[in-house]
C-alpha cells in the first residue's frame, strides 16, 4: 500500500487576478440518481462545494461513494437512459452549466473544462496516432489554426508532459506506449484546448506508485505554470498531501468534511475521515501506530438513508444520528460538532 508522502503544501491563498484564465466553480446541492431496473439509486445526494481560480481541490472517498458521477454531472455527462440530474446548480464562472442545451454544453466540454479519466488507453483512439489525436483536439477548439500550427502545438504539448522523444511519439499509436506514457498523452490531449478547469478522475490509478507521483508532480507544475483550476478525484488519501490545496471527503453521495490539506491530516474532524486516515500507513506517524479497520459497509444507495449515512459504522454516534441528517457545522457534517453533544465530542477527540 502506498505511503503518504511526508510533506504538504504551504498554505494556499489564491490571489485575485493572479491568473485571469483559471475558472471558478460553484456547485450547489447537486443530486444525481440512476434507475437500474426501476430501482432508484441516489448516487450523489446534495453536494455543495466550490473551487477558486488556480486552486487544486480533491474529492476523496471510498469506491462507489459517487465521485465519478458527481464529476460527470458537472459537465452533463450522465447518460439520460441510465440516470438523471435531479437538482442542483453548477456555476462555471457564473454560468449555470446545468441550464445549457447540449449544443451550448459542447462549447464548455474540452475547451473550457478539460477531462482526464482513469483508463487512459481506453480513452484514446487505438486507430489514430497520438500526435494526430492531439492535433485534432487542438483544431476542434482553435478553428482558425493551420495544420502546421496545430502540429507544432501538439509537439510542444508532448514535450510539456515529458514524453521522452516527442517527434517519435507523435507518430506512434497508443498500444505502442506504456501506461504512464498514455496517461501523459491524455494530459496533453486535455490541455490542447487550453482549458480553465481540469477534472482529473483517478488519473493515476492504474499506474505504479513512482509513476503516479511523477504524473501528479507534472500536473501540479503545469497548473502552476499555466494557471488552471483542478478538480482531482481519488479514492487514495496518500496522493493528496503533495498535490492539493483543499480536500472534500465524500461518503455515500455526500460531502462529509471539507478542509485545507494540512488541516485534514493534522486534525481530521469527521469520524469517517479520522478512521480512514488511521487505516493507511503514514510516514508522519510513529511506526508503532496501529492501523484501524473501519467495520461495516457503506449504506445501500437504493434505500432511504435517514440521518447520518456513516452512523451504522460510527463508534461515536448519538441518538439523533440515526434519524436526523447532520448539518454542516464548521465544514464537517457531524452532530459531534453541535455544542449540545459536548460530552460525546470530548470522548471522540480524546480517542
Which residues contact ligand ATP by CB under 6 A? 34, 36, 41, 43, 61, 63-69, 82-83, 235, 301
Q: How far is the CB of 154 from ligand ATP (least distance, A)?
A: 30
In the complex, which residue's CB is closest to Mg ion?
68
Q: What CA–CA distance (Å, rounded) separates 210 from 159?
A: 20
* Helix (H/G/I), strand (E/B), else coil: 333: strand
119 versus 156: smaller Cβ distance to Mg ion: 119
Beta strand ranges found along the chain (DSSP E): 25-34, 41-51, 56-60, 83-92, 95-96, 113-116, 197-201, 229-234, 246-251, 254-260, 328-329, 332-333
Rg over alpha carbons for the chain, rounded to the nearest Å, is 21
**Residue 88 binds which entry of Mg ion, ligand ATP, none, with Cβ cut-offs from 5 to 8 Å by kind?**
none
Encode burial over 132-145: b for 16+ CB neighbours within 10 A, e otherwise.
bbbbbbbbebbeeb
Q: How far is the CB of 64 from ligand ATP (least distance, A)?
A: 4
Q: How far is the CB of 67 from Mg ion (least distance, A)?
A: 5
Q: What CA–CA distance (Å, rounded) separates 179 from 211?
A: 9
**Window 60-99: contact mask with Mg ion (x via CB under 5 A):** --------x-------------------------------
204 touching Mg ion, by CB under 5 A: no
Q: How far is the CB of 310 from Mg ion (least distance, A)?
A: 20
For 206, half-sphere exposure in the C-beta direction (CA atoms, 13 angstrom radius) is 15
The set of cell numbers assigned to 207 is 499506474
Evaluate whether 174 touches 131 at the Cβ level (below 8 Å).
no
Q: How far is the CB of 43 from ligand ATP (least distance, A)?
A: 3
78 versus 155: smaller Cβ distance to Mg ion: 78
56 versus 67: smaller Cβ distance to ligand ATP: 67
**Residue 301 binds which entry of ligand ATP, Mg ion, none, with Cβ cut-offs from 5 to 8 Å by kind?**
ligand ATP
* Helix (H/G/I), strand (E/B), else coil: 117: coil
232 versus 345: smaller Cβ distance to Mg ion: 232
Q: How far is the CB of 63 from ligand ATP (least distance, A)?
A: 3
67 versus 196: smaller Cβ distance to ligand ATP: 67
68 versus 273: smaller Cβ distance to Mg ion: 68
Q: What CA–CA distance (Å, rounded) separates 53 from 1?
A: 33
Evaluate whether 108 touches 92 at the Cβ level (below 8 Å).
yes
Q: How far is the CB of 40 from ligand ATP (least distance, A)?
A: 10
43 versus 191: smaller Cβ distance to ligand ATP: 43
Q: Which residues of the chain form contacts with Mg ion (CB under 5 A)?
A: 68
Amino acid at each position: 500500500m502506498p505511503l503518504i508522502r511526508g510533506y504538504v503544501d504551504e498554505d494556499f491563498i489564491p490571489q485575485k487576478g493572479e491568473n485571469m484564465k483559471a475558472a471558478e466553480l460553484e456547485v450547489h446541492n447537486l443530486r444525481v440518481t440512476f434507475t437500474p431496473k426501476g430501482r432508484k439509486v441516489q448516487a450523489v445526494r446534495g453536494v455543495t462545494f466550490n473551487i477558486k481560480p488556480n486552486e487544486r481541490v480533491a474529492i476523496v472517498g471510498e469506491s462507489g461513494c459517487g465521485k465519478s458521477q458527481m464529476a460527470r454531472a458537472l459537465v452533463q455527462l450522465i447518460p439520460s437512459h441510465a440516470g438523471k440530474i435531479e437538482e442542483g446548480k453548477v456555476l462555471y464562472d457564473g454560468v449555470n452549466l446545468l441550464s445549457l442545451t447540449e449544443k451550448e454544453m459542447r462549447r464548455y466540454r474540452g475547451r473550457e473544462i478539460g477531462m482526464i479519466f482513469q483508463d487512459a488507453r481506453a480513452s484514446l483512439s487505438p486507430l489514430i496516432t497520438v500526435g494526430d489525436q492531439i492535433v485534432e483536439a487542438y483544431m476542434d477548439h482553435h478553428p482558425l489554426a493551420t495544420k502546421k500550427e496545430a502540429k507544432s502545438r501538439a509537439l510542444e504539448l508532448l514535450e510539456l508532459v515529458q514524453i521522452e522523444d516527442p517527434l517519435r511519439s507523435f507518430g506512434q499509436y497508443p498500444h505502442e506506449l506504456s501506461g504512464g506514457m498514455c496517461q501523459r498523452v491524455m494530459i496533453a490531449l486535455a490541455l490542447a484546448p487550453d482549458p480553465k478547469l481540469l477534472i482529473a478522475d483517478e488519473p493515476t490509478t492504474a499506474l505504479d506508485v513512482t509513476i503516479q507521483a511523477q504524473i501528479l508532480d507534472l500536473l501540479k507544475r503545469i497548473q502552476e505554470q499555466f494557471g488552471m483550476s483542478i478538480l482531482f478525484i481519488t479514492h487514495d488519501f496518500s496522493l493528496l498531501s503533495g498535490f492539493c490545496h483543499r480536500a472534500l471527503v465524500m461518503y455515500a453521495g455526500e460531502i462529509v468534511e471539507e478542509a485545507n490539506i494540512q488541516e485534514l491530516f493534522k486534525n481530521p474532524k469527521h469520524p469517517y475521515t479520522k478512521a480512514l486516515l488511521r487505516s493507511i500507513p503514514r510516514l508522519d506517524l510513529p511506526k508503532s501506530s496501529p492501523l484501524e479497520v473501519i467495520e461495516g459497509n457503506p449504506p445501500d444507495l437504493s434505500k432511504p438513508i435517514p440521518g447520518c449515512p456513516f452512523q451504522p459504522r460510527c463508534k461515536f454516534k448519538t441518538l439523533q444520528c440515526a434519524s436526523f441528517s447532520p448539518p454542516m457545522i464548521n465544514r464537517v457534517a457531524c452532530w459531534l460538532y453541535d455544542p449540545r453533544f459536548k460530552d460525546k465530542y470530548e470522548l471522540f477527540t480524546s480517542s
